[in-house]
Amino acid sequence: MQVKIGIFLCDCGGSLRNIDFPKIRGNLEKLEGVAFVDISHNLCLEEGGKALASRILSEDINRVVIAACSPELCEHNFMRLLESLRLNPNFLSIANIREQCSWAHKEDVTGKALELLRMAINKARLLQPLERKEVPVNQEVLVVGGGFSGMESTLELSQLGLRATLVEKGSALGGKLSELEGFYGLGASPKEMLGSMTRAIEEGKNIEVLTSAEVTRVEGEVGNFTVRIRRGGEEFPRSFGAIIFATGYRAGILPRDFELRPSVNIISQRNLIEILQAPEKLERKPETIGFILDVSDESSRLATLLVLNNALAVKEKWGSEAYVFCRNLKVDSDGAEKLYREARATGIAFLKFEKKPQISEEDGRVKVEAKDVLLGEEISLSCDILVVEEKGLPPEGTEALSSILNIGLDSQGFYQNENVYLYPVDSGRKGIFLVGACRGDLDISRASMDVASAVMGVCELLASGKAIVEAEKVRVDPDKCRACLTCIRVCPHGAIRLVRVNTEKEVAQIYDLACEGCGICAAICPAKAIDFEGYTDEQILAEVEAIGE
Amino acid sequence: MIVAERKPLEEIKEMIAGYKRILIVGCGTCVTICWAGGEKEVGILSSQLRLAFGKDGNELLTSEVTIERQCEREMVEELRDKVQEVEAILSLGCGAGVQTIAEVFEETPVYPALNTKFVGMPEREGVWVETCRACGDCLLGETGGICPVVRCAKGLLNGPCGGTKRGKCEVDPEKDCAWTLIYRRLEKQGRLDLMRKYYPPRNFQAVTRPGKVEALQA
Amino acid sequence: MGGNNKIVAFCCENSACAAADRAGKIRLYYPDNVRVIRVPCAGRVDVLHILKAFEKGADGVLVMGCQEEACRHLTGNTRARERVKYAEILLKESGIDGERVRMVNLAPEMAHKFAQEVSEMTERLKGLGPTPIKNGGPQR
């Protein structure tokens, strides 16, 4: 097909005064393959769009070059317009002569605008059509982890009409909900919450719960994952369109925090909860209880909440004196500030240290010595019980799962999100979401937000039962591929796999739906076997070529 | 696979100084996979040379081609038309590739752009390690699939030596002691008795150069 | 091309392109010798693109991607950084100053940094003079 280019120059309502449009037109008209150069004032408005459409049809052009504002603003609309004219939307090349040219420079920039146009024209000549294809997706969702986040995800999915399978490692649902004593300041108690959620799951439609079950293998890509689940000695495969991981956290004492071994008097938060739930184990009521936080580094939200809850609990149940040693109390969780004020009001004392306190045992009591930086005084407290901080740690098996999933871990061993600012619940692999405490130190309200975003993400991918992809936008040439595995190793989205072509040669193949279009593979392929339509080597270099012509 | 490494540009420049038209030939097999001599590397070298020559005001016409395997005469033969247009050939193949090209095109000088290093495997993305010295007398079956000739710094056939320390090598404490690895592997296989086996010194005189393998299948 | 301190800026469409747009929007007048080539991620930029840009007569090359640890594609910007380092080595081997190529990390709203980097590179190129490559060299 011979390339026939139509060029539209938009002067943005006549506002781009430092560009001489007629001069540019005169210059470009002479170029090979250019059918016409039009000057418009308002391509973004309806009448401008109509004029553009009628010119494209009457001149029967097959490449459209537009010089206008930033493609971020206009590209999408023009592509849809081309599509409505039955012209392949990829036959569009835009020169940004407004934000990156006219507006960016004071002087006359006709020369630069001309160069930007030549770059766009050079690229347009090489553009190839891209086919948009519908791909069916499996609408079933797997939720891994039966704690708060996992249960919440399952319920929300079922309410939206998606079938969810909830896999829990333990023998019952609940996770930390079944362990905690209370959420002071948050309304419902964990027990009530667990009760109502369990009921809702039992009654909910489209829900399957598999307890004492584990995920052992995940293969495939978004829309079509094959997951192997092990339950009671047998292993079976199941297919899902998306996966939500809500594997939570494990509470533990960091050994580097306390040189002392936990003893009768030095106990963990969990031990305290056990005693609170079964006070008959206690010989006598402890009169003075110390809590200690942030020993080695900044405290975590979860640990702070737990300390506040437990300090209030001992105050309420036993009327003990409670002292909290902390460095910087992190009260940015929902309700934590209120909880802190409540604690202060009931007479719990907070002591702020900077240097690690000294802890020693003496006559069956625990002595804590610290310098309170607010009072400026050395404080020595002798308490019946010292309750030490528990950190939120990654649950066991996180590392194994991360390698099954091909998802990285962060420095603390939690799942590493894709760009945490932009896509907090995305894993980097499309269709796999990470919610709640498995991706870091999140309290329950943050976990709820995670669940909502992940469920939204799942709906976006699966709700219609099909997905639209630009087929082979990034493509491996099977003849040139050497199966060196480089692209498979570097793809940040796990979108490339090795396949057999005609049962002979093994070559890399990119899965369109999982590909996010970064082009890292195309840049690194040592055999130059990968092309990224719209950004092929030839197209990029054709743009470079036009500079300074 | 055969692992190779690009020579410094300076050395390549010196080799081809004086030529105005050269053919740069890549190889699509081992050296493509180890990022040393595939189509991409050909492009990089070609670009570098043009920049270097252009900078000095010298003209250099480069043509680029990558063939399936440089170590096969029939495949090298495909280059004939291109070779007629140039004064010299720069090969990004292993030593075998360079020699095959030289043999097919006897009148044209061929220069190696790579240093062929060893037979190895990828350790991780972009890193290759030597795993086979091509010694011609393989004993991997008795060492749990770990080659002491290559992976022991001293190439000991009867190890470990006294310099093994917590599984590391005294020559380079960063590196694993091959014989400790062998021990652990054999332990997993329940074949620790093999550790007691004595391997007599090898007779290197028996290895004739150049090596030759003649297949019996017809 | 050639002369006039021409800079080719490969810009990630998730960050640097937006920063460049914003620089225009708020009228941060910067030198007009820069030509932005939009790429889907800084990780798309190949060492060859950088070398060929110099072959075609560019005086300087900027590779502009997302902030460290904030790449839309996780590793794109770190790979780009490594490639720019590699390109520096390759250019030096060819006798071209490594300072002519530079990796820049910026967020979409960092218009000032975009303008500043272009200005700095322009100043640097003024100091270095035009590249010794005259007319893009002979083509293959």
Q: What is the pLDDT of residues B156-177, one digit of tens each?
A: 999 899 999 999 999 999 899 9
CB of A540 less than 8 A from some CB of B = no
pLDDT, residue A258, reads: 59
Which letter does DSSP use for residue A98 in this model? I
C contact test, residue of A491, A518, A545 with most C CBs within 10 A = A518
CB contact under 8 A, A99 and C21: yes
Residue A505 near residue C28 (C-beta atoms within 8 A) = no
Which of B38, B122, B124 shows the shortest C-beta gap to A527?
A: B38
- Classify residue A207 as left (phi > 0), alpha (psi -120 to 50) or beta: beta
CA atoms within 13 A on the CB side of A336: 19
3-state secondary structure at position C24: helix
Instruction: Give the helix/strand (H/E) hosting B182.
Output: helix B178-189
Domain map of chain C by residue range?
Answer: 7-122
Q: How far is CA B67 from CA B79, B84, B115, in A?
A: 9, 17, 19
User: Which chains, if any, share at least 3 CB pairs under 8 A with chain C?
Assistant: A, B
Smallest Cα distance from C99 to chain A, Å: 20
Q: Running along chain A, 549 residues long, what does each successive block of 10 average in pLDDT?
A: 93 94 95 95 92 94 96 94 94 97 95 96 96 93 94 95 94 85 64 90 92 90 93 93 92 64 74 81 83 76 85 88 89 85 92 87 85 90 87 80 76 71 79 89 86 94 91 93 93 90 83 94 96 96 87
CB contact under 8 A, A105 and C56: no
3-state secondary structure at position A40: strand
pLDDT, residue B209, reads: 65
A:411-470 residues touching chain C, CB 8 A cutoff = 418-422, 428
Beta bridge pairs of residue B27? B67
- Look up residue B195 and give its amino acid: M
- Distance in angstroms (rounded) separating the CA atoms of residues A428 and B213: 49
Please name the residue of chain B whose CA is at the shortest distance from the CA of residue C95: B52
Torsion angle in degrees (nearest 10) through CA of A242, A248, A254, A255: -80
Judging contacts by C-beta atoms under 8 Å, the chain C residues touching residue A104 are 20, 23-24, 27-30, 32
Of A386-400, B5-19, B111-125, B132-146, the poorest mean pLDDT is in: A386-400
Which of B55, B57, B60 shows the shortest C-beta gap to C138?
A: B60
CB contact under 8 A, B55 and C132: yes
**Structural domains of chain B ordered from first start:** 2-118 (3.40.50.2300), 135-202 (no CATH)
> Sheet harboring A92-96: ordered strands across?
A34-40, A5-10, A63-68, A92-96
Helix (DSSP H) and strand (DSSP E) numbers for chain B = 8, 7
C:99-118 residues touching chain A, CB 8 A cutoff = none
CB contact under 8 A, A540 and C37: yes
CB contact under 8 A, B38 and A482: yes
Please name the residue of chain C whose CA is at the shortest distance from the CA of residue B40: C48
3-state secondary structure at position A371: strand
C:43-62 residues touching chain A, CB 8 A cutoff = 43-46, 48-49, 52-53, 56-58
CB contact under 8 A, C93 and B55: no
Q: How confident is the model at residue B216 (pLDDT cuts 50, 70, 90)?
A: low
B contact test, residue of C93, C96, C133 with most B CBs within 10 A = C93
Residue A262 near residue A268 (C-beta atoms within 8 A) = yes
Domain range C7-122, CATH architecture: 3-Layer(aba) Sandwich (3.40)
* Tens of pLDDT, residues C65-110: 999 888 889 899 999 999 999 999 999 999 999 999 999 999 999 9
Q: What is the Cα gyration radius of chain C?
A: 14
Q: How confident is the model at residue C2 (pLDDT cuts 50, 70, 90)?
A: very low
Judging contacts by C-beta atoms under 8 Å, the chain B residues touching residue A478 are none
* Tens of pLDDT, residues C11-55: 999 999 999 999 999 999 999 999 999 999 999 999 999 999 999
CA C48 to chain centre: 13
Please name the residue of chain C whose CA is at the shortest distance from the CA of residue B23: C140
Judging contacts by C-beta atoms under 8 Å, the chain C residues touching residue A102 are 24
pLDDT, residue A422, reads: 66
**Structural domains of chain A ordered from first start:** 5-130 (3.40.50), 141-249+394-466 (3.50.50.60), 252-391 (3.50.50.60), 472-532 (3.30.70.20)
Reply yes or no on whether the pLDDT at C140 is more than 60.
no
CB of A517 less than 8 A from some CB of C = yes
> If we measure between CA atoms, which residue out of A312, A319, A309 comes closest to residue A287?
A319
CB contact under 8 A, C30 and A105: yes
Torsion angle in degrees (nearest 10) through CA of B116, B117, B121, B125: -90
B:98-127 residues touching chain A, CB 8 A cutoff = 122, 124-125
pLDDT, residue A396, reads: 80
Non-local CB neighbours of A294 within 8 Å, separated by 6+ positions: A326, A327, A328, A389
B contact test, residue of C46, C48, C86, C94 with most B CBs within 10 A = C94
Smallest Cα distance from B206 to chain C, Å: 44
Please name the residue of chain A whose CA is at the shortest distance from the CA of residue B65: A527
Reply yes or no on whether the pLDDT at C139 is more than 50.
no
Judging contacts by C-beta atoms under 8 Å, the chain A residues touching residue C71 are 419
Smallest Cα distance from B84 to chain A, Å: 25
Judging contacts by C-beta atoms under 8 Å, the chain C residues touching residue A543 are 37
pLDDT, residue A263, reads: 65
Reply yes or no on whether the pLDDT at B83 is more than 60.
yes
Judging contacts by C-beta atoms under 8 Å, the chain B residues touching residue A525 are 40
Q: Output b/e per residue, A98-107; b: 16+ Cβ within 10 A.
A: bbbbbbbbee
3-state secondary structure at position A262: coil
Sign of CA dihedral A373, A376, A378, A381: negative
What is the interface size between A and C, counted as CB pairs within 8 Å?
Answer: 136
Judging contacts by C-beta atoms under 8 Å, the chain C residues touching residue B50 are 55, 137-138
Judging contacts by C-beta atoms under 8 Å, the chain B residues touching residue C94 are 9, 48-49, 51-52, 55
- Distance in angstroms (rounded) separating the CA atoms of residues A216 and A227: 8
- Distance in angstroms (rounded) separating the CA atoms of residues A301 and A330: 6
Count of Cβ atoms closer than 10 Å to residue A376 Cβ: 7
